[in-house]
């Protein structure tokens, strides 16, 4: 597709459950980022991939959060034992190379609600 | 993470008016970015600034990189209804991007 695709667009889960959020970056984009945006706030950095490897995962809040990008394209953000505080919009962005600001494209996000 | 303070938090203006908003930090940065986010969408980059004092325009939008490198300003001239949205400033340290808390703009026709 032409843009960054994130699925599902909305996810409601019960506290304690496991969830996976998917990001399909723009074809050919080697850099991929995950952000979390809480209501009324700006996006907060979670993790950055360059190719298949996580080049910077310092934004992951705790070990319940994990992300993979096994083939250097699609990425999955995984959250174990979800808590109500995990409720937020999870945004993915990709770029053709790191810090290419004008080529840095965000998806529409997955709105996660933990009840 | 880095703290970027945006003001005002929200604005209600009449169509055709000019708009000014700013972003400040206690830290020095080498880049300032301005994004717009529509409801249910991801942020879209409007303007990127790369050096202190730089003034850059994109249509009716003009942004400036403060000379202290701790602040930036965004101006929108002759606002129109589609300018409605949340405007975020952002910067980066390495590959980590930091966003401000946003300025919500409402344009009244």
Give CA–CA dist B52/B29, Å, rounded: 9
Bridge partner residues of A105 (DSSP): A94
With an 8 Å Cβ cutoff, are A42 and B100 in contact? yes
Residues of B in contact with A45 (CB under 8 A): 1, 96-98
- Pull the structure tokens for residue B105: 């703009």
Phi-psi domain of B85 (left: phi exceeds 0; alpha: psi -120 through 50; beta: other): left
With an 8 Å Cβ cutoff, are A56 and B94 in contact? yes
pLDDT, tens only, A51-110: 999 989 999 999 999 999 999 999 999 999 999 999 999 999 998 865 566 668 999 999
With an 8 Å Cβ cutoff, are B99 and A42 in contact? yes
Q: Which of B95, B98, B100, B102 to mutate to test the interface with A (most CBs of A within 10 A)?
A: B95
Decide if B98 contacts B2 (C-beta within 8 A): yes
pLDDT (tens place) for every residue of chain B, 109 residues total: 668 999 999 999 999 999 999 999 999 999 999 999 999 999 999 999 999 999 999 999 999 999 999 999 999 999 999 999 999 999 988 778 899 999 999 999 9
Q: Which residues are CB-contacts of A47 (< 8 A; sequence separation ≥ 6)? A: A33, A34, A54, A56, A57, A59, A60, A67, A77
Closest Cα of chain A to B21: distance in Å?
16
- Pull the structure tokens for residue B3: 């703290």
Give CA–CA dist B104/B32, Å, rounded: 19
- Pull the structure tokens for residue B47: 């303007």
Decide if A35 contacts A90 (C-beta within 8 A): yes
């Amino acid at each position: 597709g032409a843009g960054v695709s994130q699925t599902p667009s909305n996810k409601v889960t019960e506290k304690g459950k496991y969830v996976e959020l998917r990001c399909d970056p723009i074809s050919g984009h080697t850099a991929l980022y995950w952000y979390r945006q809480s209501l009324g706030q700006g996006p907060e950095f979670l993790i950055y991939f360059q190719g298949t490897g996580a080049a910077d995962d310092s934004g992951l809040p705790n070990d319940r959060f994990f992300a993979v990008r096994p083939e250097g394209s699609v990425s999955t953000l995984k959250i174990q034992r979800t808590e109500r505080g995990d409720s937020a919009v999870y945004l993915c962005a990709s770029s053709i190379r790191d810090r290419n600001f004008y080529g840095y494209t965000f998806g529409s996000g997955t709105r996660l609600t933990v009840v | 993470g880095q703290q970027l303070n945006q003001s005002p938090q929200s604005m209600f203006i009449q169509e055709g008016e000019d708009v000014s908003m700013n972003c400040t930090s206690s830290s020095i940065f080498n880049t300032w970015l301005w994004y717009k986010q529509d409801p249910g969408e991801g942020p879209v980059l409007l303007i990127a600034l790369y050096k202190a004092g730089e003034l850059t325009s994109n249509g009716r939008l003009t942004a400036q990189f403060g000379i202290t490198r701790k602040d930036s300003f965004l101006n929108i001239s002759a606002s129109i209804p589609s300018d409605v949205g949340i405007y975020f400033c952002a910067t980066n340290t390495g590959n980590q991007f930091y966003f401000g808390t946003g300025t919500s703009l409402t344009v009244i026709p």
